[in-house]
Chain A
Amino acid sequence: NAGVTQTPKFQVLKTGQSMTLQCAQDMNHEYMSWYRQDPGMGLRLIHYSVGAGITDQGEVPNGYNVSRSTTEDFPLRLLSAAPSQTSVYFCASSYSTGGAYGYTFGSGTRLTVV
């Protein structure tokens, strides 16, 4: 049981490049979400999904795109990377949007945009 797997762990992009951060979970969780964590800002929600084919925006969605074609996978796409998107990105999943068991987080992707 691997939990939530994020790839890559580290990435350096040039301004304007695009890329996809991968997130996969093997717990059959319906709810998945993406957060970014910046120093002094805490975790902020980017996008989330309550099931395959259903996605919605969080607090800071601009510059990011998501889709959910399967229960297991929830990739995050950066359309045209900007230095302001330098951050640590976490994917999380859960049986529901809150729940008694909380969220299971991946180990994160550290992204630097130069």
Chain B
Amino acid sequence: EDQVTQSPEALRLQEGESSSLNCSYTVSGLRGLFWYRQDPGKGPEFLFTLYSAGEEKEKERLKATLTKKESFLHITAPKPEDSATYLCAVQVAGTALIFGKGTTLSVSS
């Protein structure tokens, strides 16, 4: 069965304290891995797509990386406005996206 597991479930950081979120997956035939950001009361917002092991994407303080079994979302020097739930999803051939349960990040000043 295709599975996506995100860890930790929740993460509290001080402003400027860098860290990483993990997304591990067990799927047959990965077509792509996606990261989304979700703010309370809103729909998910697309961040990155990664297609193959070794690929990296960056956007402001966020950097996503991909291996054959997992992806990391690195947050460098986070600010309070980075507080949100970060969702990982995978696409398997012939299906829509399969989402993990998310990591809720809180950044305090």
Hey, which bits of chain A sit against chain B, CB under 8 A? 4, 33, 35, 40-45, 48, 58, 90, 92, 97-108
Would you call B44 and A98 a contact (CB within 8 A)?
no
Interface string of B47-74 (1 = CB under 8 A from A): 1010000000000000000000000000
Bound Cα distance from A108 to B96, whole angstroms? 19
Can you list 18 A-B contacts with CB-CB less than 8 angstroms, sorted by A residue number?
A40-B101, A42-B87, A42-B99, A42-B101, A43-B99, A58-B96, A90-B43, A97-B96, A98-B31, A98-B91, A99-B49, A101-B46, A101-B49, A104-B46, A106-B43, A107-B41, A107-B43, A108-B42
B78 proximal to A (CB < 8 A): no
Size category of the binding interface on chain B? 20 to 34
Would you call B49 and A102 a contact (CB within 8 A)?
yes
Bound Cα distance from A91 to B99, whole angstroms? 14
Would you call B43 and A105 a contact (CB within 8 A)?
yes
Bound Cα distance from A90 to B34, whole angstroms? 17
Q: Given A99-B32, A101-B49, list of 10 further CB < 8 A pairs? A: A35-B99, A42-B100, A43-B97, A45-B97, A90-B43, A90-B44, A99-B49, A101-B46, A102-B49, A107-B42
Bound Cα distance from A108 to B17, whole angstroms? 32
Given A97-B91, A107-B43, A102:B96 Cβ within 8 A: no
Which of B32, B46, B98, B101 has the most chain A CB within a 10 Å cutoff? B46
Provide the residues of chain A in CB contact with B101, threshold 8 Å.
40-42
Provide the residues of chain A in CB contact with B99, threshold 8 Å.
35, 42-44
Bound Cα distance from A53 to B37, whole angstroms? 31
With CB as the reference atom, state the residue of chain B lying closest to A96: B91
A5 to chain B, nearest CB (A): 11
Provide the residues of chain A in CB contact with B31, threshold 8 Å.
98
Provide the residues of chain B in CB contact with A107, threshold 8 Å.
41-43
Bound Cα distance from A56 to B41, whole angstroms? 28
